[in-house]
Homo-oligomer: A and B are copies of this chain.
Amino acid sequence: MNGADLLCETLLANDIDVCFANPGTSEMHFVAALDRQPTMRCVLGLFEGVVTGAADGYARMADKPAATLLHLGPGLANGLANLHNARRARTPMVNIVGDHATYHLKYDAPLTSDIESLARPMSHWVGRAGSSHDIGQATETAILEARAAPGQIATLILPADVAWSDTNATIAPKAELRQAAKPDERRIATAVEALRKGVSTTILVTGLALRERQLEKLDRIARASGARLMAQQSNGRMQRGAGRVAVDRAPYDVDKAVASFAETAQVILIGAKAPVGFFAYPGKPSSMLPDDCTVIEMTEEGDDLPLAIDMLADAIGATPKAEFSTRHNPDLAQGKLTPDAIAIALAHYMPANAIICDESVSSGRDFFGKTHGAEPHDFLQLTGGSIGIGLPLALGASIACPDRKVISLQADGSGMYTLQALWTQARERTDTLTIIFANRRYAILHGELKNVGAGEPGVNARQMLDLDNPALDWVSLAKGMGVEAARADTAEGFADLLKSACSRRGPFLIEAVI
């Protein structure tokens, strides 16, 4: 057995049996080790942003990490943007990054770079395997770090000679996971006291608080105390739709967010962070809360959120029943295809238990409000603002949940970042439906340019913000990667395509020209 085998066996012993990969020469012994392990499912991405984004989608739905395999500093670099999103989603992930053999580093061969410096900003934990004998221990540490609540990015650097050297080390049994921490009773008591004050209160939540059962309890707590329940602006995963509690999200727009919290005297945070502007703007505040708003952090990093919610419910005596959304089947729109018409059609047709991956940016803002009464579904968001996660996220979610329909709400500009994911969707025959919101511009930036008072965009601004010259032809792009596709430019045409796409299996793409 060599170091690569030991690494691979340790992953499998700890229930990590999916590896999203794009290997290179320095990882070839690890590839050979994976080849000796048919129980490890290897999924190739034709670009590393696909690899890390898919590992994120997988873990959000599987509630356990996947491994990634990346080639040296540049391979890691290509995956960093989606690692950034995964870090913000608190997704557990174990990255294996190959490096040159230890004795080769001093020669500064062309692919040499400072991998640690690249990894650190997007990782909670970075380590380097020292020898083939301790690679099992290093892998176990990486896995435990990844699985520490609420989820961490662990990056393990694997020198080629560590992978290829023999070892007599034995495979350790499955490591015992660090349990999420029991919440501090004093913090719960402070929250209870606050909720009994009778002042305007928002309970702001994310993470495991957004699962069906926890939302039900939170709704009852809110009703018992007269508080407003709200989710963070952006969340890794939220369970919603008919039969579940409808919960709003903090607004993205600074003015709307400030208005939303203007009357809030206190905010109770459960897993969430106090709301801040996604960007700073001249003359606008960074914090979305009034200056005199009290912020109560009911939980600490690493706390067991479902237990915290149980403790709070017990202390409050949350006796009212929760109110659930009822299934609402809206009438389909007619005429011109608009984001609104797309949202209505989705509310109408999307099947029960669908997984929605939302990277629709400006075009998809209608979806959330229109689908409280859609069939129950999971809703996965872009959490770190780094565009290019939608298609990989859908790929990974589908690998985790092959029997569920995965629907990508994908803006065209951000979709172009990692369009290579379509090829892996075709290869793995995932049940993924992609809806491209083809407005042929970075629409969000047009709005932002207006906001900075630059007036009408001139030649250079249009050159940087418009995608219409030439127009992207997503049907051809999909075909080029083996995914069937069709185009719609009317509400009726879109609804027909959506209905048919939802009644078949396998990857499909609709270019919705809006």
Contacts and interface: CB of A to CB of B under 8 A. Distances in A.
A464 B44 contact: yes
Identical copies in the complex: 2
B40 A460 contact: yes
A252 to B, nearest CB: 10
Given A28-B451, A479-B473, A467 B383 contact: no
A448 B30 CA distance: 12
A276 to B, nearest CB: 4
Interface stretch (A334-342, A396-404, A413-421): A413-421
A258 to B, nearest CB: 14
Contacts of A476: 476-477, 479-480
Interface in A380-423: 383-386, 388, 413, 416-417, 419-420, 423
A78 interface: yes
Interface of A: 21-26, 28-29, 31-32, 34-38, 40, 42-44, 46-47, 49, 73-75, 77-78, 80-81, 84, 88, 100-101, 103-104, 107-111, 113-115, 117-118, 120-122, 160-161, 164, 234, 273, 276-280, 282, 286-287, 383-386, 388, 413, 416-417, 419-420, 423, 426-427, 444-445, 448-449, 451-452, 454, 457-461, 463-465, 467, 469-482
Contacts of A84: 73-74, 77, 113
Contacts of A416: 46-47, 420, 423
A46 B110 contact: no
6 contacts: A37-B460, A38-B459, A46-B417, A73-B121, A109-B286, A470-B482
A446 to B, nearest CB: 10
Contacts of A108: 273, 276
A46 B467 contact: yes
A470 B427 contact: yes
A120 B109 contact: no
A22 B413 CA distance: 11
Contacts of A463: 42-44
Given A42-B464, A383-B110, A47 B103 contact: no
Contacts of A464: 21-23, 31, 34, 42, 44
Contact of A457 (B35, B73, B277, B473): B35
A113 B80 CA distance: 11
B449 A32 contact: yes
